[in-house]
Structure 1
Amino acid sequence: VDVRGRAADGTWTEWRRAAAGAPAELPRYVVDVQARLTLWNAKGEPTAAVRAVTLTADDAGTAPAEPAPATRAAAFSARVYATREGLVGHTTANGHVIQANDHFVALPSRRALSPKGSGQYSVQVCGPARCETAPVWDVGPWNTHDDHWNPSSVREQWKDLPQGLPEAQAAYEDGYNGGRDEFGRQVANPAGIDLADGTFYNVGLNDNGWVTVTYLWTEGGGDTTSFPTWGTDVSVRQQATTASTRVASLPGPTTVRVRCQVHGQLVNYDGYSNDAWSYLPDYGGYVSNIFIDVADAWLPGVPTC
């Protein structure tokens, strides 16, 4: 059983393992808690079944205060070796069936696994040609408990490795853990991220190679404010008009960071009308405020671009 919490600003913590006698402690105060139950059964064995799950929550009184927006650090970035996932037709850890030219990534920990169709945990991947923001929809490569983007003190495993260094890279380059992953396999490359085919080729890779990865849900914000979104395949445009180039899309409900907003083309959708557009720095473009899941047409507390 894993749990996570949603803060008042709509952002989620990472998932944390919870068990009897070993409660999960969330890193900050939250207003909602969600649980995720993962079932495993051996091939040929009866399907696992659950009769009931009981969760209790206590205020530990130790969560750090939320930093003021002006003092928040940027989201964590690291140089990581990327491999192409492929596996078209297979199913990812969150239930997505992999399509040809798909756009998502896999990271070696379930702590940052987005729900199916969601971009709640997304990364920006910058390769030789360009950057792309993609959701985390699978777990791997090599390990499944290696949240290498986290500080060593809160890392699930391999706490003696520095932040940003995947265990597989340390095993491959320095013989860490005898050169093996958590399953005892000999590590054959230093990969810390898998890229779906569409993402792999879009950022300019023709073979496995090094990319810069920014983990957008990590401590960050700076001059941005986080808001929830709604809708599927929501377009992010280069300018505040539907005629502008589509630079990215939001596959499903997620949380985005908004830097500023402008009045642009009037958009009519599903009974709503709004001419306000928000600039999303993580995607390098604008999204209609219709798809920002708040009651206000003009976002409160967000400056004009």
Structure 2
Amino acid sequence: MKLSRYLLVSTVLTGSLLAVPSASAATGWQVGLAEPGAGSTNVETGPLRLGSADNRAASAESAARTGMASYPHTLATPANAFTATVTSTVPDGAEVAVDVRGRTAGRWTEWAEIRPDAPGVLSAAARDVEVRVVLSAPDGVAAPSVDALTITPVTGQRATAATPGLTYRVFATREGLVGHTTANGHKIVQRDHFVALPSRRGLSAKGTGDYSVRVCAGNGRCEWAPTWDVGPWNTRDDYWAAPGVRQQWGDLPQGKPAAQAAYEDGYNGGKDQFGRKVKNPAGIDLADGTFWDGLKLKTNAWVTVTYQWTGTHPHGIVRTSGPVLNVRPGPDSQSPNVGLAAKHAQVRIECVVAGEQVKGSQGTTDQWYRLAKGMFVSAAHVAPGPGSAPVPTC
């Protein structure tokens, strides 16, 4: 076991990033590790330590056990880049990582990892930020711990330009694994509604949908679902990321999962990051309810995925008493079901129209949101996203 203490400061240029001054040029804050916020899972405090629960990517038994602790913070001045000073005890084979995100226009940016050789860079400057400590250890390895953490905003950093409304066609597989625990601590139930993406950068905390996707099948059906697990195949493949930002396999085209490249092209020797032979080109896993009920799929298939945290549309969060909200082709509940929106999912809203009056968690209203062409949900079941832009009339 080794004691690890390192100061994360950037001294190199990466892609479009500008040089970063020493962390001493700005005032940081010491994170109160004993008081993790909402969304934390499988950690113990005093010091912050990986817990004993079996939280891991459900589709990869060889993946390490994982715990996450999050800490919100409000800055005096908006910033978009951060370094960290960490004092931690990390046994050989274990890992401690520090991520950061910020809220802009009411929506969270994607998580950015703060690394020893480069700061975490957000797509836009933010005053409200959140730090996430990720602790992981393979089976048989002692739990890592963190004794102290200081985060420092840095200046002179250029944000990576965000690509609006990222959409890619990828291969989808059914996750199944009912009774298993996902990477964010959710216990999978029968006919569940969530997805797995192969990077924690797009992982929502348990019971939230900050990072959700719209998945559409070739039959025309779509489901909006939160990302609650990491996988399939890989766990560090944010293939939707812009060039120069992708966690791993940055030589691949944006939008092409590493598993697809391994399966189709023999990339990485045809193997995933764990050394397993890749047997299908999957870039997303679908829970049973999403697979069977939302999309009406009978077998694994190519789907079109839109990453809901990207783009500039107004947005909302599905708040319904049941597990899903029906998506209709028009603004009335008598129209046939053409898809589903899972509880907690973030949805991008194109516009609003008047239709049937409906009573729901947001009161009684005749307003219906159009989420895509020919796809509407009642505003009675969708809470406006904090700070979201006003919804235009259709």
Normalised-by-shorter TM-score class: 0.7 to 0.9
Aligned to 1:69: none
Aligned to 2:251: 160
1:154 Cα deviation from its structure 2 partner: 1.9
1:60 Cα deviation from its structure 2 partner: 3.4
Q: Distance in 2 between matches of 1:204 and 1:235?
A: 15
Distance 1:128 1:304, change over 3 A: closer
Work out whether 1:2 is the aligned partner of 2:92: no
Q: Distance in 2 between matches of 1:211 and 1:136?
A: 16
1:251 Cα deviation from its structure 2 partner: 1.9
Q: Could you list the runs of 5+ residues in structure 1 that have no partner in the other structure?
A: 67-71
Q: Distance in 2 between matches of 1:4 and 1:294?
A: 17
Larger Rg belongs to: 2
Q: Distance in 1 between matches of 2:386 and 2:266?
A: 54
1:197 Cα deviation from its structure 2 partner: 1.2
1:188 Cα deviation from its structure 2 partner: 1.7
Residues 266 and 273, structure 1, Cα contact 8 Å, conserved in 2: no
Aligned to 2:211: 121
- AA partner of residue 226 (structure 1): H
SS at match of 1:25: strand
Q: Distance in 1 between matches of 2:351 and 2:133?
A: 38
Q: Distance in 2 between matches of 1:294 and 1:41?
A: 35
TM-score where L is the length of structure 2: 0.64
Q: Distance in 1 between matches of 2:117 and 2:246?
A: 20
Alignment deviations for residues 184-222 of structure 1 (CA, whole Å, 9 cap, x no partner): 22212211111111112232322222222222222x23x
- Higher strand proportion (structure 1 or 2): 2
Aligned to 1:225: 314
Percent identity among equivalent residues? 49
Aligned partner of 2:262 among 146, 171, 181:
171
SS at match of 1:178: helix
Work out whether 1:303 is the aligned partner of 2:392: yes
Distance 1:27 1:300, change over 3 A: closer
Alignment deviations for residues 275-304 of structure 1 (CA, whole Å, 9 cap, x no partner): 3524141592233268534799xx974333
Q: Distance in 2 between matches of 1:53 and 1:200?
A: 41
- AA partner of residue 196 (structure 1): A
Alignment deviations for residues 134-162 of structure 1 (CA, whole Å, 9 cap, x no partner): 21111111111111112333211111111
Q: Distance in 1 between matches of 2:336 and 2:300?
A: 29
Aligned to 1:143: 234
Alignment deviations for residues 230-286 of structure 1 (CA, whole Å, 9 cap, x no partner): 67657465355677777534523x64322222445666667x755352414159223
- AA partner of residue 154 (structure 2): D
Work out whether 1:248 is the aligned partner of 2:315: no
Distance 1:47 1:150, change over 3 A: closer
TM-score where L is the length of structure 1: 0.81
Q: Distance in 2 between matches of 1:147 and 1:27?
A: 15
Q: Number of aligned pairs?
A: 291
Q: Distance in 2 between matches of 1:189 and 1:273?
A: 45
Distance 1:50 1:264, change over 3 A: same
Q: Distance in 2 between matches of 1:135 and 1:303?
A: 25
Work out whether 1:63 is the aligned partner of 2:176: no
Alignment deviations for residues 90-124 of structure 1 (CA, whole Å, 9 cap, x no partner): 01111111111111111111111111122221222
Question: Which range moved further: 173-182 or 240-249?
Answer: 240-249
Aligned partner of 1:49 among 145, 151, 158:
145
- AA partner of residue 185 (structure 1): R
Aligned partner of 1:31 among 111, 116, 127:
127
Aligned to 1:191: 282
Q: Distance in 1 between matches of 2:169 and 2:385?
A: 36
- AA partner of residue 26 (structure 1): L
- AA partner of residue 138 (structure 1): D
- AA partner of residue 200 (structure 1): F
Q: Distance in 2 between matches of 1:231 and 1:59?
A: 42
Work out whether 1:97 is the aligned partner of 2:194: no
1:20 Cα deviation from its structure 2 partner: 4.4
Alignment deviations for residues 1-37 of structure 1 (CA, whole Å, 9 cap, x no partner): 1111110x11221111114453211122223211111
Aligned to 1:209: 301
